[in-house]
Structure 1
Amino acid sequence: MSPRVETVRAAFRAECARLAEILAGLDEADLDRPTGCPPWTVRELIAHVRTGVGRVTDMLAAPAPPTAEVDAAAYFGAAKFTPEVDAARIAGGRRDARQVDLDALPADLERVWRAADAAVAAAPPERVVRTRHGDAMRLVEFLRTRVVEVGVHGLDLAAALDRRPWLTAPAAEVIADLLTGGRAVPAGLRWDRLTLIRKTTGRAALTGVERAEIDAAGFRWLAFGG
């Protein structure tokens, strides 16, 4: 396995394991809280994340497309998330949430992410998968999208639960690299990785000066749909 795949895989493992730890401490009242991803509750957002993690295993069980067509940034392109796709995504999260058993929630996420991790470990480094949008992309690129989903939605869950963000350092590095396209953050912004991620994913407001700096730096604006 190439070093880059291993780096992204380590971030995926770290962030999923951290989320499973958090879930073990939740109660029914926590699960019914609203989130900043309306109309989802905490329960529904967790179900959405769990489904997104499980996509890795499902895709690797399917035939491999011959060549990759998109990267992780293109996967999050706004054009992918039409009103119809977004409505189906929201309905899917709500449907999956109805099947959530609080007592089994941490173990279920643990099972799903470990199965995904094992499937990645067994796959060739250059393996290509097909996304739910029908695009072909390299496995490492799709795994980057899973780190973004678990990490950024983890910020949403932390906010809904009135907790400090638990974003892990390996995941923050992978997400920040995707958001900046590998470019350095303008020195004048004085942002750490958590601030960068919150600001450029709409989890914290940008000032006019900050937006101008970001636009000039050529950072990528992602649309989220899982």
Structure 2
Amino acid sequence: MPPARKRTRTYDPVKTRAAVLAQFGHVRDGVRDLDEERLARSSGLGDWTVRELAAHVTTALENVSRNLDRPEPAGREVTLLDWPCATAGRAGDIAAGTRRLAADHPDLDALYARTGERYAERLATAPDGRLLATLPRTPGSDRAAGAPTGAMTLADYLVTRTVELVVHTDDLNRAAGTDIPFDRQALATCTRLLADALAVKAPGASTEVRIPPYAVVQCVEGPRHTRGTPPNVVETDPLTWIRLATGRVDWRTALDEARVGASGERADLAPLLPLMG
């Protein structure tokens, strides 16, 4: 197990770039194998079909390409840990853009191919420190251009892409009955970012949250633990943690199904979840 987080975590930009491409490739392969019956199923995310969810996944990369096509944004630079909370309140905008994207691109494999090519071409010469808008306009949506919450470096923004890709890979697997694999680096990065976001939302050191083999964080105000077994411990697996953090499963259900263990009077994370709306 890695040590509990005490400092701001850093991510290797080279590994992050590779992880994003690897996970996108896994999703493209899985979507290519979907027949019309499975594409027409409910995604479990509002009224989206699996087809619409599959189309939406491409925006994880297309938003990078679109931002690299634009001048660097001016304004406040936000940190990586600002991003999870900054995504709240965009559901309507994202849903509208996704429906249009799916309708305009019935050939999903062609959409994935075009998206991947554009992304690779633009990323090839983009430096890690290049600034991007943190909440770019969703393709096909009515959201006003130029209304992001701030700017983030490309290196950090690509870390957020692992969250988008891993979360929606899991969504696709559960909705369509696929078995799309998770790139290990992408899964680890997604898990760690969401764990660190919890520590930011509930600062403190009374509770230790363990998500082996990728992350351990301390959070929640209260007496600080210094040695021995912590009095308040939460432990779960990466996918369950990601589902909790993004609202795919609620805390009580995860406890009842023994997908999360929690001991101690400060081990109830229900009031803090989900982290992303």
Alignment TM-score > 0.5, same fold: yes
- Is the aligned partner of 1:127 residue 2:181? no
- Is the aligned partner of 1:222 residue 2:276? yes
SS at match of 1:213: coil
CA distance in 1 between counterparts of 2:132 and 2:177 reads 37
Question: Residues 5-42 of structure 1, C-alpha deviation per residue, up to 9 Å, x if partnerless?
Answer: 11211110111000010011011111110012111111
Moved more, 43-52 or 162-171: 162-171
- The 8 Å contact of residues 65 and 128 in structure 1, kept in 2 or not, is answered as yes
Distance 1:220 1:40, change over 3 A: closer
Aligned runs of 1:58-69 on 2, under 5 Å? 58-65=66-73, 69=77
Question: Residues 60-108 of structure 1, C-alpha deviation per residue, up to 9 Å, x if partnerless?
Answer: 1111135762133323315x543xx43222111111111232xx32242
- The 8 Å contact of residues 68 and 138 in structure 1, kept in 2 or not, is answered as no
Structure 2 counterpart of 1:157, which letter? L
Equivalent position of 2:246 in the other structure: 201
CA distance in 2 between counterparts of 1:214 and 1:57 reads 40
Moved more, 89-98 or 175-184: 175-184
CA distance in 2 between counterparts of 1:220 and 1:94 reads 25
Question: Residues 112-138 of structure 1, C-alpha deviation per residue, up to 9 Å, x if partnerless?
Answer: 124213322311121111232422111
Aligned runs of 1:91-170 on 2, under 5 Å? 91-101=96-106, 104-131=107-134, 132=136, 133-134=147-148, 135-164=150-179, 166-170=181-185
Counterpart of 1:35 (choices 19, 43, 47) is 43
CA distance in 2 between counterparts of 1:123 and 1:61 reads 11
Distance 1:150 1:3, change over 3 A: closer
- The 8 Å contact of residues 67 and 132 in structure 2, kept in 1 or not, is answered as yes
TM-score normalised by L of structure 2: 0.68
State the shift of 1:44 in Å: 1.0
The CA RMSD measured in Å over matched residues stands at: 3.0
Moved more, 141-150 or 207-216: 207-216
Equivalent position of 2:65 in the other structure: 57
- The 8 Å contact of residues 179 and 220 in structure 1, kept in 2 or not, is answered as no
Number of residue pairs the alignment of both structures matches: 216
Structure 1 counterpart of 2:216, which letter? A
In structure 2, runs of 5+ residues without a counterpart are 1-9, 137-146, 198-214, 219-229, 256-260
TM-score normalised by L of structure 1: 0.82
Higher strand share: 2
Distance 1:213 1:168, change over 3 A: farther
- The 8 Å contact of residues 128 and 154 in structure 2, kept in 1 or not, is answered as yes
In structure 1, runs of 5+ residues without a counterpart are none
Distance 1:205 1:219, change over 3 A: closer
SS at match of 1:63: coil
Counterpart of 1:171 (choices 180, 186, 201) is 186
Structure 2 counterpart of 1:11, which letter? A
Equivalent position of 2:84 in the other structure: 76
CA distance in 2 between counterparts of 1:203 and 1:3 reads 26
SS at match of 2:128: coil
* Relative contact order higher in (CA < 8 Å, ≥ 6 apart): 1
Structure 2 counterpart of 1:119, which letter? R
Question: Residues 135-164 of structure 1, C-alpha deviation per residue, up to 9 Å, x if partnerless?
Answer: 211111211222211210111111111234
Distance 1:97 1:143, change over 3 A: same
CA distance in 2 between counterparts of 1:198 and 1:99 reads 30
Identical pairs, percent? 31
Equivalent position of 1:192 in the other structure: 237
Equivalent position of 1:90 in the other structure: 95
Which protein has the larger Cα radius of gyration, Structure 1 or Structure 2?
A: 2
Equivalent position of 2:31 in the other structure: 23
Distance 1:67 1:124, change over 3 A: farther
